[in-house]
Structure 1
Amino acid sequence: MNPKALLSFLLVTYPSVIIGLTTNFNSRSTTSLFAKKQQNRKSSSSKAPASKSVGGFGSAPKPASDGKVRTVSGFAGSGTKPLRVAANTFDKLRKDYGKEYTSDVYCKSPLNDPELLWFVGKVNIRPNTAATPDQAVIAQKRLILEYAKRELRPQNLGGKYASSLELWLAPGDSEMDAVQNKVSITKVDGSVADLSEDFSVNDVGYNPEIYVGDEVEKGGLRIKRDDDGNPIKPVFEVNQ
């Protein structure tokens, strides 16, 4: 029997078997072809020239204002290294020069509460340099704010409250006096453009506040001050 006659006989006698065979064959062929196309695509993409972008953000990072600021992007996790460098610098300066050159830092969002300020850490400076406490904050402002609103107190400083954040300074290691309304604080104004020509970010450090236990949910040290940074309530003593 010739092939055409045999095929006709089988189609009439066993139609389901023949249709199944042809369907499976076509399916395997299509799958095989798709796999080859995918493999070719992977091969061609792997041979493509490397992009000039750095860090996955599409462009090379810009110089950090000639070593005057500690930069950090708004992406989660981007501040880990700058924060570590800032903390290590703080520890070194503190060890070498003591607490005399340290200032406490508070952060406020008037959109959340115009009187409430949250303690967010400390800055310090290297003496006999161009650095001042205000410049220490300005040079690390983005780092401090990103940490405060993302990691420390997003409930009060992040999201819809983040657009109006302010940083304020108090005397170093004055947390207890601040809570007892014994000290006033000063607002930090200015921008990177106000940093002195001889200023170097290597001359300043930042020690971030870290919450533990119930502080994570309820928050840590906070104070209330008026628009001029003065205590709203009278001084009180803490029972020992």
Structure 2
Amino acid sequence: NDLYVRQPKSNVFWFVGKIARVDGVSVPACVARQYPLIAQHAANLRPLEMYPHHDQKFEFWAAPGDSEMEVAYNRPDLQMTKIVIDDDLAESCMEVRTLMIGFQGEMYEGGEEGFHTWRDEDGYAVKPEVKGPDTGEQEISDDLMKKMEGMDAQKLWEEQERRAGRSPTDD
């Protein structure tokens, strides 16, 4: 699963990394068992936003694995799940062996801002879905590919020149 930390007192969720777990270990148990590691990583990754709150419980949210693009496009059907770590979970997660779970923290390179999203209290996107223009370019491209089949390079070049308003014989 992809893991996000909610910036305190805001609806900004920062991507902090990915968690791994074997069958039988729940996402909340995986996060709870690794909470000190993940929380410290989040505070170090986002020192301005998160470190001032490192003495408080961070609010973690899980998204399906490798869903960064769906999150970035604000897909309305993608809901993140809040990870609630109560006392019972904090105690029971200690039975999870560390070889059954893992965390791969996000790293920034060369001034990267970091990936974040805006979500509501239920884990849904706050901003509208990002959609590409529906211009029918794919149909045009497919039609052009069919026309180009079987043409030799010289004829393709001549057609390109003709469409550009140039005579293929001009030098």
Give the TM-score, by structure 2 length: 0.68
Partner secondary structure for residue 156 of structure 1: coil
2:6 corresponding residue in structure 1: 108
| Structure 1 Cα separation of the partners of residues 94 and 33 of structure 2 | 13
| Structure 1 Cα separation of the partners of residues 53 and 85 of structure 2 | 23
2:143 corresponding residue in structure 1: none
Give 1 or 2: higher helix fraction: 1
Partner secondary structure for residue 56 of structure 2: helix
Q: Does 2:80 align with 1:185?
A: yes
Partner secondary structure for residue 154 of structure 1: coil
Give 1 or 2: higher strand fraction: 2
Q: Does 2:107 align with 1:210?
A: yes
Q: Does 2:128 align with 1:231?
A: no
Deviation at 1:110, TM superposition (A): 2.2
The answer (yes or no) to whether the contact 1:149–1:162 under 8 Å persists in 2 is: no
Residues 223/115 of structure 1: CA separation in 2 closer, same or farther (3 Å cut) = same
1:80 corresponding residue in structure 2: none
2:67 corresponding residue in structure 1: 174
Deviation at 1:234, TM superposition (A): 2.0
Q: Does 2:29 align with 1:135?
A: yes
Post-superposition, which runs of at least 4 consecutive aligned residues in structure 1 deviate over 2 A? 160-165, 195-201
Deviation at 1:211, TM superposition (A): 0.4
| Structure 2 Cα separation of the partners of residues 205 and 185 of structure 1 | 20
Q: Does 2:19 align with 1:126?
A: no
The answer (yes or no) to whether the contact 2:33–2:96 under 8 Å persists in 1 is: no
Residues 208/200 of structure 1: CA separation in 2 closer, same or farther (3 Å cut) = same
Residues 155/238 of structure 1: CA separation in 2 closer, same or farther (3 Å cut) = farther
Aligned length: 129
Deviation at 1:142, TM superposition (A): 1.3
The answer (yes or no) to whether the contact 1:138–1:192 under 8 Å persists in 2 is: no
Deviation at 1:200, TM superposition (A): 2.2
The answer (yes or no) to whether the contact 1:180–1:238 under 8 Å persists in 2 is: no
Higher RCO (Cα < 8 Å, 6 or more apart): 2
Partner secondary structure for residue 155 of structure 1: coil
| Structure 2 Cα separation of the partners of residues 184 and 177 of structure 1 | 10
| Structure 2 Cα separation of the partners of residues 205 and 192 of structure 1 | 22
The answer (yes or no) to whether the contact 1:109–1:162 under 8 Å persists in 2 is: no
Once the two structures are superposed, the pairs formed by residues 1-240 of structure 1 within 5 Å of their partners are 103-111=1-9, 114-127=10-23, 130-150=24-44, 152-160=45-53, 163=56, 165-182=58-75, 183-191=78-86, 193-194=88-89, 195=92, 199-215=96-112, 219-237=113-131
Kindly provide the CA deviation profile for residues 137-157 of structure 1, in whole angstroms up to 9, marking residues without a partner as x. Answer: 11111110111102x111111
The answer (yes or no) to whether the contact 1:131–1:200 under 8 Å persists in 2 is: no
The answer (yes or no) to whether the contact 2:80–2:123 under 8 Å persists in 1 is: yes
Deviation at 1:131, TM superposition (A): 0.9
Unaligned runs of 5+ in 2: 134-171
Q: Which amino acid aligns with 2:8?
A: P
| Structure 1 Cα separation of the partners of residues 55 and 118 of structure 2 | 19
Identity of aligned residues (%): 31
Deviation at 1:214, TM superposition (A): 1.8
